Amino acid sequence: MKMDSIKMKKELEQRLAKDNRTFSFDRKKDELRIENKETGKGITISLPGIIAKWENRKEKAIDEVVYYVEEGLQAMEDAPIQLTGFEKNIFPVIRSTSFPIQSEEDVPFFTDEHTAETRIYYALDQGTTYRLIDTKLMDKEGWSPERIREIALFNVRSLSTEMKGDTVAGNTFYFLNKNDGYDASRILNDSFLKESEKRITGTMAVAVPHQDVLIIADIINETGYDILAELTMSFFASGRVPITALSFLYENGELEPIFILGQTKKK
């Protein structure tokens, strides 16, 4: 069966239908919006990206979208959240620079610059989902950017950094995949990156293709760059929350995006 936007729209509407929800389809943008009738709050999803994942993963791709939409809508309907008293639940999350910088209600999220490809957001973990922290919530509780930043980075340093390795053509690739929602966030743990660098014998490269994986590569030869590029693109295409298909060189505590084309690499 060939999947298109109309078929995907119908499938999602059937799976997400509830008495208190409405659906609207923007044919020009190829987007489907699901809203709560009472609150007017909702989630907008881009169909082409879901269709691309469906081509590789079929029903599993749709299952994941439905799960995240349900969790997101439920979070919007729950009681108002607060930061005070829930400091241990505040974490940084990495997103692409193309990710929205404000909420559906046009309230800016609290963000920090990271690299040319990535941006840092901050989230309050709520168990099965999390809520991105925005300036309205910060102002309401009187929290400063420095306080959120300090707490979030402290918390991410407390997360496990155990990795699994695999060697291909002399190059070693280490994978961190705990599926706790903050795998990519470990890239902000400076001490972890510095410790990883100590066991690197060649060139150290880092990749965060999607939210639930972090890759550290020990590149020994040109083939290693090609393998890293293929790995990163594969993870990027299959991730529930894609970040970037580019990798980064790690030198002197800095991350520099690299473009890998065939047997060449370019900063």
> Structure pTM?
0.76
d(CA 177, CA 184): 9
Give the range of the structural domain holding residue 54, as residue numbers without chain letter: 5-77
User: Same domain for 150 and 191?
Assistant: no
Nearest to 205 by CA among 193, 219, 191, 192: 219
User: Same domain for 120 and 58?
Assistant: no
Among 133, 157, 181, where does a domain finish? 157
pLDDT in tens, 41-69: 888 888 988 888 888 778 888 888 888 78
Under DSSP, is residue 78 helix (H, G, I), strand (E, B) or coil?
coil
Q: What average pLDDT does the structure give for the chain?
A: 89
User: Same domain for 244 and 193?
Assistant: yes
User: Same domain for 65 and 119?
Assistant: no
- In a domain, residue 72? The reply is yes
Asked if residues 169 and 227 have their Cβ atoms less than 8 Å apart, the reply is yes
> What single string gives the DSSP state of each residue in 88-125?
GGEEEEEEETTS-SB-TTSPBBPEEE--SSEEEEEEEE
User: Same domain for 61 and 21?
Assistant: yes
pLDDT in tens, 138-155: 999 999 999 999 999 999
Number of structural domains in the chain: 3
User: Same domain for 12 and 73?
Assistant: yes
What is the mean pLDDT of the segment spanning 249-258? 92
- In a domain, residue 196? The reply is yes
User: Same domain for 66 and 94?
Assistant: no
Identify the H or E element spanning 49: helix 47-57
Percent with pLDDT over 70 in the chain: 94
- In a domain, residue 257? The reply is yes
pLDDT number for residue 193: 97
pLDDT value at 23 more than 80:
yes
User: Same domain for 56 and 120?
Assistant: no
- In a domain, residue 82? The reply is no
pLDDT value at 185 more than 90:
yes
pLDDT value at 246 more than 90:
yes
pLDDT in tens, 71-125: 778 766 655 678 999 999 999 999 999 888 988 778 899 999 999 999 999 999 9
- In a domain, residue 140? The reply is yes
pLDDT-derived band at 261, boundaries 50, 70, 90 = low
User: Same domain for 129 and 55?
Assistant: no
User: Same domain for 98 and 181?
Assistant: no
pLDDT value at 11 more than 60:
yes
d(CA 255, CA 107): 30
- In a domain, residue 243? The reply is yes
Residue 135 to residues 101, 131, 145, Cα–Cα distance (Å): 11, 13, 9
User: Same domain for 212 and 130?
Assistant: no
Q: Name, in order, each residue with C-beta under 8 angstroms of 68's C-beta and a sequence gap of 6 or more.
A: 129, 240
Among 157, 180, 196, where does a domain finish? 157
User: Same domain for 193 and 248?
Assistant: yes
- In a domain, residue 239? The reply is yes
d(CA 99, CA 102): 9
